[in-house]
Amino acid sequence: MANKTENMENNQNNPAEQEEKQCGCACHKSEHSEKSECACHSDGECECKKDISEIEELKAELEKAKAESAKNYDNYLRSVANLDTYRRRVLRDMEEIRKFAIQPFVEELLTSVDNLELAIEHARKNEDFKDMIAGIEMVLGQIKKVFNNFGIEEIRPLGEDFDPNFHECVAHSPSSDYPENKVSSIMRTGYKLNGRLIRPASVVVSSGADKE
């Protein structure tokens, strides 16, 4: 009886047996695992090396996923910005097309308008052409009304400062009516389409009063 009691006490005091009994690690419970995969402690806590390795792998995968997520979000922001830029450019181009699509047509029509104005100017020299002048002026007025509806403006800078951006100087001439560098005569009317120059006005620029 004494020997049996002594054996029981020895078993209870055996640290290895106590550790293995207290350890509930899955590695120890598995038939195909090795104890070297565990770091078991005498207090019953067990650090499974296999579990630790898996956790480290999961952490690495999580960090990788976070990096990919940040990269994808950055790409998303760039795509949104590029799309907005493209949208604004398309709208701007469409507006440009809307405003200036008729420019080639207007440029072709201006020659006819010039001829009508010349016809009126020459017809005024003859009293017999009064009725014809009235008819031509009516047609010319209708054309210019259409011009105005589509944003076409005349450039008639008589008496204004010469502006090379909108005026084409064909000659300089002394003038007692207009100071130097003022437009003293218009040889051909200029035109703008929605603020854009389509033809400069051909003008004579005053060189000041004639010096004797």
Q: Can you tell me the distance from the alpha carbon of 25 to that of 52, in angstroms, rounded to the nearest whole number?
A: 13
Please indicate, yes or no, if residue 122 is contained in any of the structural domains. yes
Please indicate, yes or no, if residue 139 is contained in any of the structural domains. yes
Q: How many structural domains compose the chain?
A: 1
Please indicate, yes or no, if residue 149 is contained in any of the structural domains. yes
The answer, yes or no, to whether residue 189 has pLDDT greater than 80, is yes
Each residue's pLDDT tens digit, 46-59: 555 556 778 888 88
Please indicate, yes or no, if residue 165 is contained in any of the structural domains. yes
Q: Tell me if 183 sits within 8 A of 157, measured CB to CB.
A: yes
Element (H, E) at 126: none
Pairing between strand 46-48 and 38-40?
antiparallel
Domain enclosing residue 137, as ranges: 103-206
CA-to-CA dists, residue 77 to 37, 63, 89, angstroms? 46, 21, 18
CATH number at residue 190: 2.30.22.10
Please indicate, yes or no, if residue 83 is contained in any of the structural domains. no
Confidence of residue 6 (pLDDT cuts 50, 70, 90): low
Q: What is the mean pLDDT of the chain?
A: 82
On whether the pTM is more than 0.75, the answer is no
Each residue's pLDDT tens digit, 146-157: 999 999 999 999
| 89 or 44, which is more confident | 89
